[in-house]
Amino acid sequence: MPYHWGPEPTLTPLIVPHPAPNVLDRRIAVAPMMERTDRHERVLLRLISRHTLLYTEMVTSGALLDGASRRALAHSFEERPLALQIGGSEPHAMAACARLAGEHGFDEVNMNVGCPSDRVQSARVGACLMAEPERVARCVRAMRGATSLPVTVKMRIGVDERDSYRDLAAFVEEVAVGGCETFIVHARKAWLHGVSPAENRTAPPLRYDTVARLKQDFPELAIVLNGGITTLQAARMHLRTFDGVMLGREAYRNPYLLAHADRLIFEDPHPVPTRVEVAERYASYVAQQLAHGARLTHMTRHVLGLFQGLPGARAWRRHLSEHAHRSGADVTVLWEAIRKVSGAAVVPAVWPPVLPSVPGSETGVTDA
Ligand SMILES: Cc1cc2nc3c(=O)[nH]c(=O)nc-3n(C[C@H](O)[C@H](O)[C@H](O)COP(=O)(O)O)c2cc1C
């Protein structure tokens, strides 16, 4: 059994874990996002969908290997299927990180070739490596040699003036020879100078056609589409062309959009939890984590969007934003917020949790 950092066991009574996958199902994934897809967020997403592939935030190879970011390896079995994303460009270091990913029970190790921020560029990490396919291929080869996990690359369709289809195809071809069989493609180019990371996620136009051409020209490779996908319907449509679809910002802003992914995409007919059930289970997780020293606001911030689009959403957000940061605040804040949206007398936070699974226990909120 791999060693996991941090408190455990965590969620066994809360989540029915996905069986350890032999072949990863990448049809729907939630993108790696710094300061978003931490352990708490991943638990929340897993309470909503058992099958969606999850990614950690990016950790640089240097920070992981010198010990500063060892916590990035922390996860619980129930978060799986889970990929560790590494930023780096030194084959030896990337190999050492890939080995750690395997030893710590991840299901995939992903190399970041898409982040355009100045900070990571100066460390030769991220999208600037689109201009160095040979180096990326060497990293992938070294990583493959160090672990039996799948090694994947998350990339852009180009950078700066290096944005022709020819350059893109040459990159993919060379990195595939290095041993990468799965490419996650953010369907925008990135500007490496004078543009903030946030602008680099909106300003360059989305070019799904370019990514589709890649899939056509490299049918033997798995190509996962990323960028601007905001509904499961759109995801399903893209799955006619691509091997997988990765959602980022919308999955964070409105996590419940994944609630029907298990049924609609992964053909698992298990009952879909209501938003209130998700919130209650998350509250039980929060109570447990608080007892281990986690901070309440670090956990409540991820659930602000849970009731997105529903009548009680504003009261929910306001209650959490106003009360969670107060000194002495505990999980009661979350239970009070649940009460505001559900109108129901909620179950007190006890461990192990008492889950209100009786049909009709949820009132006031419906999930269309
Ligand atoms: C706050 C934030 C942090 C991000 N951090 C990472 C990261 O650590 N690694 C990475 O490859 N991409 C990162 N991204 C980019 C996303 O993974 C994704 O490629 C991008 O948001 C486009 O997908 P979307 O339109 O579905 O959001 C980040 C995006 C956001 C909004």
pLDDT digits (tens, 9 = 90+) for 111-133: 999 999 888 887 899 999 999 99
Residue 57 has pLDDT above 50, yes or no: yes
| Ligand 1 atom with least separation from CA of 228 | 25
More confident residue, 352 or 55: 55
Which pLDDT does position 242 carry in this prediction?
Answer: 98
Hunting for tokens 């226990």 — which residue is that? 361
Which pLDDT does position 346 carry in this prediction?
Answer: 47
Which pLDDT does position 249 carry in this prediction?
Answer: 98
Is the pTM for the entire model greater than 0.75?
Answer: yes
Instruction: Report which residue type is found at 63.
Output: A
How many CB atoms within 10 Å of residue 348? 12
pLDDT averaged over every residue in the chain: 88
Residue 356 has pLDDT above 60, yes or no: no
Least confident range of 4-13, 16-25, 127-136: 4-13
Which pLDDT does position 203 carry in this prediction?
Answer: 85
Q: Answer yes or no: 115 catalytic.
A: yes
User: φ and ψ at 85, to 5 degrees?
Assistant: -100, 130
Which pLDDT does position 22 carry in this prediction?
Answer: 59
With beta carbons less than 8 A apart as the criterion, state whether 61 and 274 touch: no
Residues sharing a CB contact under 8 Å with residue 106, sequence separation 6 or more, in sequence order: 75, 80, 82, 83, 84, 149
- Give the SS3 label for residue 243: coil
Which pLDDT does position 360 carry in this prediction?
Answer: 30
Residues sharing a CB contact under 8 Å with residue 314, sequence separation 6 or more, in sequence order: none
For residues 155-166, give the mean pLDDT: 96
More confident residue, 16 or 47: 47
Q: Whose CA is nearest to atom 30 of ligand 1?
A: 33
In sequence order, the β-bridge partners of residue 87 are 60
Q: Whose CA is nearest to atom 3 of ligand 1?
A: 33
d(CA 279, CA 333): 12
d(CA 68, CA 272): 39
Confidence of residue 295 (pLDDT cuts 50, 70, 90): very high
CA 109-130-235 angle, 5° bins: 60
Which pLDDT does position 281 carry in this prediction?
Answer: 95
CA 26 to chain centre: 12
Q: Which domains does the chain have, with CATH numbers?
A: 28-264 (3.20.20.70), 275-342 (1.20.120.1460)
How far the first Cα of the chain sits from its last, in Å, is 41
Instruction: Report which residue type is found at 13.
Output: P
Any idea what DSSP says for residue 36? T
For residues 162-181, give the mean pLDDT: 97
Structure tokens at 19: 């069986």
Confidence of residue 314 (pLDDT cuts 50, 70, 90): very high
For a mutational test of ligand 1's pocket, the pick from 34, 108, 253, i.e. the residue with the most ligand atoms closer than 8 A to its C-beta, is 34
For residues 43-62, give the mean pLDDT: 97
For residues 344-350, give the mean pLDDT: 45
Residue 170 has pLDDT above 80, yes or no: yes
- Closest residue by Cα to residue 49 from 268, 287, 233: 268
More confident residue, 139 or 21: 139
In sequence order, the β-bridge partners of residue 185 are 155, 225
Catalytic, out of 97, 115, 139, 180: 115
